[in-house]
Amino acid sequence: MLTVVIPAYNEGSVIAVTVFDVQKVIELNNLQGAEIIVVDDGSSDKTAEMSHKSGATTITHPHNIGYGRSLKDGIRAAKNDTIVITDADGTYPIDMIPVLLSEYEKGFNMVVGARQGENYDESFKKKSLRLVLKKLVEFTAGRKIPDINSGLRVFSKKEVLPYFSKLCDTFSFTTSLTLAYMMNGMFVKYVPIDYMKREGTTKVRLFRDSMRTMQFIVEAIMFYNPIKIFIVFSALLLLFAGFNFVLSFAFQKTITFYLGLGSILLSVLMFGIGLLSVQLKHILYSSGESNKSHDT
């Protein structure tokens, strides 16, 4: 049995259609016991009213608090363990849910719809920012990721709840979920999906939300794999040192020689701090595991 969670903010014109599409998929695939939860995140239109009329369980926030928080509240309220999340704006192909469920039943911890098509590759600016964020997440996770923040995915309520304190309440929820699963060695499967044309206007603020996502990614590196960020800084300092040594020998400048030497020392120090951060992480993890075993 599954629960479909749909966060919605000012989607009164389309939410009933989205709920109907989900209901149709549930009926056609005989998914008995399935429920649909719409979380209205403080909409100023008739989103909650239209959701309720369409037959979905409706949770309402008194004011807008965030995409991630809406998903968390919907997941907490779910009666079933298998969770499907999707958006209310008609961009995700609801008829692909059975395909994702089929893959999920093969033993994956999470199955994600990887977006493609002309509606996904919109403006050059959006594509460029998305690529930068994708490369940062791949650097953190250490593997290729087709779509870091797709909003169509399947996972287990029981498995995701322990990560809630580490998952964002904002637009970056799906990115943080991807990293949480990847960095904890869980099995994630990507299924290509067509991304549809959006109904209504986007709620995403490209630059602001991208900066928030980048901030979270840096925090995630420090939490999951801190040595990576220290290695980057260490490598940059070594490059700076090499550049100064070249200038020193080419122009016989003493100051550039000492700048290069200082950069090497800082690079070694930075790498040492990285090693210490890894050891501290292992100590904290071992302490946490020890406390868990004592509790049981």
User: Among 262, 255, 256, which residue's Cα sits nearest to residue 238?
Assistant: 262
- Residue-wise pLDDT for 120-132, tens only, equals 766 666 777 778 8
Question: Domain-by-domain residue ranges, the chain?
Answer: 2-223, 227-295
What is the CATH code for 2-223?
A: 3.90.550.10
Q: Which pLDDT value is given to residue 161?
A: 97
Alpha-helical (H) ranges within the chain are 15-28, 47-53, 67-77, 97-104, 124-141, 157-160, 173-183, 206-224, 227-251, 254-295
Tokens 């009666």: give the residue: 79
Mean pLDDT over residues 249-257, rounded?
82
pTM (predicted TM-score): 0.78
Amino acid at 158: K
Place 279 in a pLDDT band, splitting at 50, 70 and 90: confident
